[in-house]
Amino acid sequence: MQPATKYAQSADLNIAYQTVGAGPLDLVFVMGWVSNIDEFWTDPPFARFLNRLAAFSRLIVFDKRGTGLSDRVNEHQLPTLEQRMDDVRAVMDAVGSHRAALLGISEGGPMSALFAATYPERTAALMTFGSYACSLITDDYPWGRSAEARLAMLNQIRSGWGNSPVGLDIRVPSRSNDQAFRDWWTRYLIRSATPRAALALTEMDFQIDVCPVLSAIRVPALIMHRTGDRALSVGGSRYMARQIPGAKYVEYEGEDHLPWAGNVDAVLGDVEEFLTGARQVTEPDRVLATVMFVDIVRSTEKASEIGDRKWRELLEGFYGMVRRNLERFRGREIDTAGDGFFGTFDGPARAVRCAQGIGNEVSVLGIAIRAGVHTGEVEVIAGKVGGIAVHIGARVASEAGAGEVVVSSTVKDLVAGSGIRFEDRGLRTLKGVSGDWHLFRAFA
């Protein structure tokens, strides 16, 4: 559930904040760049990430001055890190928090570091993810962003704010082909700042340099970064970890800049263990579900035939058709990989009809698909779906020919009376799955 928004007074400004959870320690989540705390909860992976933090803390989220639900500022008078620290103290005072851990994401990291150095009596711990000490490249700090990168970012904001998911390709590349997420990110930016405010806040970001204060930090510190981060060099976090006395440093594989994408459980586990001394052993939820796998037949040949640009356009059209059918038949998108699509359903008949609907539509793109459907017990952890049933579903799909929807005998038995007809494909051995499996082709 989305928590209620309240306001703290910071000088003459109102700072929007929310609290969730009732753990024994306070944790202030400091989002980077722009934010809207109401929108945090409308992206399921982001909401799960925050709820997991709230499982072992009282989580405090807020919108910095000039962003989201907080008061706007004079765009010709950029907010300083000192003023943003005032906002954190105001929010902590409003919720009765005398001491809290800070988790600074990206641009939220430098302010959190300065807060820890300035107010150690109010800082239980400092944590940063995908962050930096200095925004731009200098002679002593080669891990910052170049002048060209700065200009490119400002131009993207000028031309694309409100019309496109500005900056998404480098911040969450693992979800950059997910149209639903692209739409959410575009909406999130619009509701976080106006175009002019976004330009001003980005300029403020480029002026940040907290290198001189790092050695003065005396609270426990955890510095985290992904090695392939496309937005900010991992070298910046390595530098921070070297400069902060006694800091713990953790690197993760992957390219995502934001922590609630990619290897999320590893990040959450490290944060929890750092703050509490132990990490929660997440037991998977086991539920009955129907899995559907769809992929494009002869995709490699097709991509080679039409070229990269047209192939990307074709994929976007394909993904759009799949998503429309998922919505129509109450399916849930789980993952996309190249030319493949993985979704789940709470009923096998809807999954079969969804696959058939996709197959009927894609001919206008000049392609054919094959699909596999299986029903079984799956494991659900942090929104991800896994287990042997998923593996079986993928292998069933590999047995389908062009334009075919192949299902397991479990699906055939469960949809009896639905009007779906079947053609017996006999017993098959599925790679990596024990025993023989009776498969059927479904047709209308």
What 8-state DSSP symbol labels residue 98?
A: S
Model pLDDT, residue 384: 75
Residue 316: other Cβ atoms inside 10 A: 12
Judge contact between 129 and 224, C-beta under 8 A: yes
- Same structural domain, 240 and 336: no
Of 67-76, 276-285, 289-298, least confident by mean pLDDT is 276-285
For range 41-68, the mean pLDDT: 94
d(CA 109, CA 30): 8
Residue 353: name the closest of 321, 317, 325, 323 by CA.
325
Report yes or no: 227 and 234 within 8 Å, Cβ to Cβ.
yes
Identify the domain boundary among 276, 308, 325. Answer: 276
Mean pLDDT, range 70-76, rounded to an integer: 84
Domain boundary among 276, 311, 345: 276
Instruction: List phi, psi (to 5°) of 23.
Output: -70, 170
Q: Are residues 376 and 269 in the same domain?
A: no
Residue 277 structure tokens: 């001394």
Angstrom distances, CA of residue 389 to CA of 128, 252, 264, 287, 424: 38, 29, 23, 11, 21
Residue corresponding to tokens 């910095």: 64
Q: Cα(441)–Cα(444) distance, rounded to whole angstroms?
A: 10
* Same-domain pairing of 130 and 261: yes
pLDDT band at 284 (very low <50, low <70, confident <90, very high): low
User: Which residue carries 């993760």 as its tokens?
Assistant: 252
Pick from 279, 233, 23, 204: which is nearest to 141 by CA?
233
Residues 169 and 223 in one domain: yes
Any domain includes 1: no
Is the torsion defined by CA of 209, 214, 220, 222 positive or negative?
positive
pLDDT at residue 280 is higher than 90: no
Q: Does an H or E element contain 436, and which?
A: strand 436-443
User: And the tokens for 313?
Assistant: 């356009």
Q: What is the average per-residue pLDDT within 71-89?
A: 88
Q: Give the global pTM.
A: 0.69
Residues 6 or more apart in contact with residue 364 via CB below 8 angstroms: none
pLDDT of residue 383: 64
**Is residue 300 a part of any domain in this protein?**
yes
Mean pLDDT confidence for 131-147: 95
User: Total domain count for the chain?
Assistant: 2
End of a domain among 250, 276, 302? 276
Q: Please state the rounded mean pLDDT for residues 40-52.
A: 91
In terms of domains, do 300 and 259 share one?
no
Mean pLDDT (whole number) for 4-17: 96
Mean pLDDT value across residues 219-230: 97
Domain containing 224 equals 6-276
* Shared-domain flag, residues 303 and 239: no
Which tens digit of pLDDT belongs to each residue from 297-319?
A: 999 888 889 998 898 889 889 99
Q: Are residues 243 and 326 in the same domain?
A: no
Q: pLDDT at residue 39 above 80? A: yes
Q: Same structural domain for residues 248 and 189?
A: yes
Average predicted confidence (pLDDT) for the chain: 92
Chain CA centroid to CA 213, Å: 31
Residues 261 and 350 in one domain: no
Tell me what the mean pLDDT of segment 186-210 comes to.
Answer: 93
The C-alpha atoms of residue 281 and residue 408 are separated, in whole angstroms, by: 33
Tell me, yes or no, whether 269 and 372 share the same domain: no
- Poorest-pLDDT segment among 240-254, 363-377, 381-395: 381-395
Q: In terms of Cα–Cα distance, which of 12, 1, 53, 61 is closest to 36? A: 61
Torsion of CA 413, 286, 39, 59, to 10 degrees: 170
CATH code for the domain of 301: 3.30.70.1230
The pLDDT tens digits for 316-358 are 899 999 999 999 998 988 888 778 899 999 889 999 999 999 9
Interatomic CA distance for residues 117 and 41, integer angstroms = 31
Q: Provide the token pair at 385.
A: 């779906």
My answer on whether 92 and 125 are in the same domain is yes
214 plus 256 within the same structural domain: yes
Are 157 and 199 spatial neighbours (Cβ–Cβ below 8 Å)? yes
Check residue 309 and give its pLDDT.
87
